[in-house]
Structures are given as C-alpha cells and as structure tokens.
C-alpha cells in the first residue's frame, strides 16, 4: 500500500469507525455524498466482514476479494489511526458497538 493511502486511512480511522455505527439507510445516502475512494470502501467491507467474529487475513481476503497483505496493511493503518481492532499475527476482529437508533421527526 502506498504511504499516502495508509496516511489517509490513519487520519480517517475514527470517522470510519463512527460511520459504521450508523444504520444501513444512513450509510447508503452518506456513501453517495462522500464519494469515498476505493481504499475506504474496501476498509469498510473488511470491517463489516470481521464485525461478528475473528477471521484470518486469508479468510477476510477471500471474502473481500483482495490480497491478505492488503487486508493486513489496511487494518494496521486503521489501528494506528486510533480504531479499536483486535489483531494478532494471523487474525483480526473489529466488533461493532451497539447500533444507534436515530429519531425521525
């Protein structure tokens, strides 16, 4: 991964974590507004994949259709950016907090 991409993920790690707590309809319309880059979309896909149980980097890569090294680099960048990710040398887990309920008027 290029250093500028890793730096962008580090800077946006906490914002990505907040984004994940939004309800699916909220995420959908915000995604269109944000026009996020490929790395942020892949990071969200990886985080969703490991939100329910720990998986190996190879399993994550297979599900997300990318390279295990890319998975490792993205997760390391997000962790360095302040996101809470439980990782060891072969697997990762990023539990999602309790979903928020947004009031509508």
* Whether the model pTM is above 0.85: no
Phi-psi category of 65—alpha, beta or left, where left has phi over 0 and alpha has psi -120 to 50? left
Grouping H, G, I as helix, E, B as strand and the rest as coil, residue 44 is helix
Q: What is the reported pLDDT for 58?
A: 97
Query: What's the CA dihedral at 58, 59, 62, 64 to 10 degrees?
Result: -110
Q: What is the reported pLDDT for 74?
A: 94
Strands (E) in the chain, as ranges, are 55-56, 86-87, 91-93
Mean pLDDT of successive 10-residue stretches along the chain, which has 105 residues: 86 89 88 72 92 95 96 94 91 74 56
Closest CA to 11 of 94, 92, 80: 80
Q: What is the reported pLDDT for 27?
A: 87
Q: What is the reported pLDDT for 96?
A: 77
Give all domains of the chain, ordered by start, each with its CATH number: 3-93 (1.10.10)
């Amino acid at each position: 991964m290029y250093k500028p991409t890793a730096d962008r993920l580090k800077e946006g790690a906490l914002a990505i974590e907040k984004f994940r707590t939004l309800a699916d309809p909220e995420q959908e319309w915000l995604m269109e507004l944000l026009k996020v880059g490929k790395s942020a979309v892949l990071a969200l896909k990886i985080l969703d994949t490991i939100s329910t149980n720990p998986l190996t980097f190879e399993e994550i890569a297979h599900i997300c259709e990318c390279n295990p090294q890319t998975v490792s680099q993205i997760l390391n960048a997000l962790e360095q950016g302040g996101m809470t990710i439980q990782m060891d040398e072969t697997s990762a887990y990023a539990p999602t907090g309790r979903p928020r309920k947004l009031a509508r008027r």
